[in-house]
Amino acid sequence: MECYFDNAATTQVFDGAISVMEKVMREDYGNPSSRHQKGYVAEQYVTGAKKTIAKALKCKDSEIILTSGGTESNNLALIGIAEANKRAGKHIISTGIEHASVYNPLIFLEEQGYEVTFLGTDAYGRVRVEELKAAIRPDTILVSIMMINNEVGAVEPIEELAKIVHGTNPKTIFFVDAIQGFMKLPIFPGRIGVDALSVSGHKIHGPKGSGFLYLRDKVKIRPEILGGGQQKGMRSGTENVPAIAGLSAAIEEYSKNFSANTEHLYQLKQAFIEGLLSMEEVVVHALPLEECEGDLSKAVRKTAPHVVSVGFTGIKAEVFLHALEERGIYVSSGSACSSNHPAISGTLESIQVRKDLLDSTLRFSFCEQNTLEQVEYALEQIREMLPIYRKIRKY
């Protein structure tokens, strides 16, 4: 049985998205900036996509900047907002569990003379509200906090954090990396005080190379890509019409069953964790069981619906990953750390994962197309494999 459990890395593109992309490439291949009919037809895909996105976020379509994906959206938001607002201050706040596409632009900004405060988290990967409040200063121009952590599936209390940010310093801009969150849990940025929000298309059954940045009206930003002045000069470059059309189709299709999908994912996750917890020396990270008095269903629903981070004591993550692969189960290693990659995951450290598990942690991530049978199959395989791969316990 094939079980693709690496949906936080990327997803299979929806058929509907593929067919519209093919149509755009074969028939409606015009440049949206061309004045003739072919250009007009192509432009309709772009404006249509912005409308679809705006509907999903309950915002205005003028608040959407289409990009090449999550990394570009994050770079544009962080560097663009910081540079456009630096006269108001040069202090930025973020967390120690952000994705590299947020973390590295922040390090770049530090080198440019900005000061960045990185907040810690609790043992479940959640930012502490008081800690954020205490960190905000009069010269804080930007707060950047992710919606759902990609490694362990922690859900940040975005609405609460937004209130704290704006309540403490009304001038501070609040940016949310929603690349793992969009289409998993509802988020309407304009209504809860999120000023900017980034999304990637290929995490939600759209094509790679697609994505967008939501930017609330009147938030100042400096464009990072200069050229022909497309998208009101905010993001030059001929629009990637096939990818944009594919992204739009994916959002439309996913939106039809949004809440049913989320509930299905939670059921898969709960069944999977239940099975894992019955095995010896297996640890599920960032699961707030104690907080919920041991009620697994409740605890699971405090986390992301699709991500499960698991430590297997005594087994090297990469070996187990390849062993699972031999049985048709595709997952990610929770952190890239071994003798060859000395980088330890910031997230696993932040939630204080046991040292010996840093190198023994795998991430399973589901999509709504996965089934309970697949979960059962994976559990069965893991149960069988643990003793085999625990024979070599040296590192």
DSSP, collapsed to helix, strand or coil, labels residue 18 as helix
CB of 320 to other proteins, least distance (A): 7
Region of 108-116, 252-260, 288-296, 319-327 interacting with other proteins (CB under 8 A): 319-327
- Euclidean distance between CA atoms 198 and 110, whole angstroms: 21
Q: In whole angstroms, what is the distance from residue 380 CA to residue 283 CA? A: 17
Alpha-helical segments (H) within 169-220 = 189-192
Question: Can you tell me the distance from the alpha carbon of 230 to that of 50, in angstroms, rounded to the nearest whole number?
Answer: 14
Binding of other proteins by 394 (CB under 8 A): yes
3-state secondary structure of 309: strand
Sequence-ordered strand ranges (E) for 99-219: 115-119, 140-146, 173-177, 196-200, 211-215
63: three-class secondary structure by DSSP: helix
326 forms part of the interface with other proteins (CB under 8 A): yes
Those residues whose C-beta lies under 8 Å from the C-beta of residue 76, and which sit 6 or more positions away, are: 65, 67, 213, 221, 223, 224, 235
Does residue 341 interact with other proteins by CB under 8 A? Answer: yes
| Residue 209 neighbours by CB distance under 10 Å | 18
**Residue 2 binds other proteins, judged by CB under 8 A:** no
Sign of the dihedral through C-alpha 344, 349, 351, 352:
positive
Q: Is 40 in the site for other proteins (CB under 8 A)?
A: no
Query: Rounded to the nearest 10 degrees, how much is the dihedral formed by the CA atoms of 365, 370, 376, 381?
Result: -60
Q: Using the rule CB under 8 A, is 338 a contact of other proteins? A: yes
Smallest gap, in angstroms, from Cβ of residue 42 to other proteins?
A: 37
Q: Could you tell me which stretch among 91-99, 106-114, 191-199, 387-395 binds other proteins (CB under 8 A)?
A: 387-395
**323 binds other proteins, rule: CB under 8 A:** yes
Helix (H, G, I), strand (E, B) or coil at 365: strand
Q: Is 3 a known active-site residue?
A: no
Q: Considering the complex, what minimum distance in angstroms separates the CB of residue 319 from other proteins?
A: 5
Query: Quick one: 111 exposed, middle or buried, by C-beta within 10 A (0-12, 13-18, 19+)?
Result: exposed
Is residue 395 near other proteins by the rule CB under 8 A?
A: yes
Q: Does 328 bind other proteins (CB under 8 A)?
A: no
Q: Does 340 contact other proteins by CB under 8 A?
A: yes
From 219-227, 257-265, 281-289, 321-329, give the range in contact with other proteins by CB under 8 A.
321-329
Show contacts with other proteins in window 299-318 (CB under 8 A). Answer: 316, 318
Nearer to other proteins, 322 or 355 (CB): 322
235 CA to centre of own chain? 22
List the one residue from 35, 87, 218, 391 that touches other proteins (CB under 8 A): 391
Q: Which range touches other proteins (CB under 8 A), out of 231-239, 303-311, 323-331, 375-383?
A: 323-331
Contact segment (CB under 8 A) with other proteins among 97-105, 236-244, 268-276, 320-328 equals 320-328
How many residues interact with other proteins (rule CB under 8 A)?
17
Between 136 and 385, CB nearer to other proteins: 385
Instruction: Sort 222 into a burial class: Cβ within 10 Å, 0-12 / 13-18 / 19+.
Output: middle
Catalytic residue among 3, 59, 292, 337: 337
Q: What distance lies between CA 46 and its chain's CA centroid?
A: 23
Give all strands (DSSP E) within 255-344, no chain letters.
282-284, 307-312, 329-330, 332-333
Judged by CB under 8 A, the residue of 1, 100, 260, 392 near other proteins is 392
Residue 320 lies near other proteins (rule: CB under 8 A): yes
Residues designated as active site: 337
Binding interface with other proteins (CB under 8 A): 316, 318-323, 325-326, 338-341, 391-392, 394-395
